[in-house]
Amino acid sequence: MLHQNLEWFFPHTTEEAVKLISQQGVILHGGGTRILKTSPKSIKGLVDVGKLNMNYIHHSGNKISIGSASTYDEVIRFSARTKKLSMLVKALSEAASTPLRNRITIGGSLKDFPIWSSLYAPLLALNAQIEIADKHDKIISLEEYLETGIIKTKHLIKRIILEDDPQVIGGVKRFVLIRFEYPLFTVAVALRTKQNIISDARIFITGVKGRYKHCKRAEHFLIGKELNDENIQQAKKHFAPKFVSDYKYSAEYKEHAAKVFFTDLLQELKGTVK
């Protein structure tokens, strides 16, 4: 249950919001879907992000900026209009339900990082950058945000920045038994290709032991090679994410399923290599 005397704040500047969340028990409120679910009693105040001008998606040159107050649904609608962000949107459009996608924000989802996150695997594969504000504003890679533990500190996420690179092809797959279920894992692959040869690869999976894994061995194997059936089968041997067993599935079963999803994803990408 949330605190009965919970105080709401509606700041107009990010500086004001950062100052407010420096108080104990005061946190940001994006879509509220996680806060409502967990309803921790320790929360004394909620700082709504709605008036901070962070609800936008801008495309300028080869960069796309997604303001952190944008909802999953707004990103999906931007993509339908512009035909951009198709890999990210494939993941987001399968997340939760329509009413939830109307509420879940990019910022709240990045800070929360549930193991069923639809957002992290594609953003990490696309080498997204994140702009955060605490004492100072900074832009870092999303991978660094996780690796350095900044995610665990108190800060405000302002936006995500993605490169719009036509040379990059990518895909994402999530493992669910029924559509409206938390995904057990989400795997995403982004490849840069030139004359049929892979010149760069980024492969990430979430839902694993340690929450996410950057699959560098599989990347190293693929770089410099053609995406053909033989190399796809070989790449599978270099892709070995580790899972934790749960009441439904053993760790081994999940690893096997992840390998199948990974090779299926590469097979799908094979047809689109430039």
Ligand X SMILES: Cc1cc2nc3c(=O)[nH]c(=O)nc-3n(C[C@H](O)[C@H](O)[C@H](O)COP(=O)(O)OP(=O)(O)OC[C@H]3O[C@@H](n4cnc5c(N)ncnc54)[C@H](O)[C@@H]3O)c2cc1C
Q: List contacts with ligand X (CB under 6 A).
A: 27-35, 37, 49, 68, 95-96, 100, 103-105, 107-109, 111-112, 114, 116-119, 156-157, 182-183
β-partners of residue 53 are none
- Rounded to the nearest whole angstrom, what is the least distance from the CB of residue 215 to ligand X in the complex? 20
Task: Tell me phi and psi for residue 217, to 5 degrees.
Answer: -65, -45
Smaller CB distance to ligand X: residue 108 or 170?
108
**Position closest to ligand X via CB:** 108
Nearer to ligand X, 176 or 251 (CB): 176
Listed in sequence order, the DSSP H helices in the chain are: 14-21, 33-38, 72-82, 86-92, 98-101, 106-112, 120-125, 142-147, 216-222, 229-237, 251-270
- Residue 127's SS3 state is coil
Residue with tokens 């690869």: 201
Q: Which residues pair with 57 in a beta bridge?
A: 66
Minimum distance between the CB of residue 164 and ligand X, rounded to whole angstroms?
22
Nearer to ligand X, 68 or 193 (CB): 68
> Cα(113)–Cα(90) distance, rounded to whole angstroms?
18
For 145, the token pair is: 């945000």
CB of 111 to ligand X, least distance (A): 3
Judged by beta carbon, residue 115 or residue 223, the one nearer ligand X is 115
Q: Indicate the residue among 135 and 166 with the shorter CB distance to ligand X.
A: 135
- CB 57, min distance to ligand X, A: 15
CB of 26 to ligand X, least distance (A): 9
CA pair distance 71, 106, nearest whole angstrom: 6
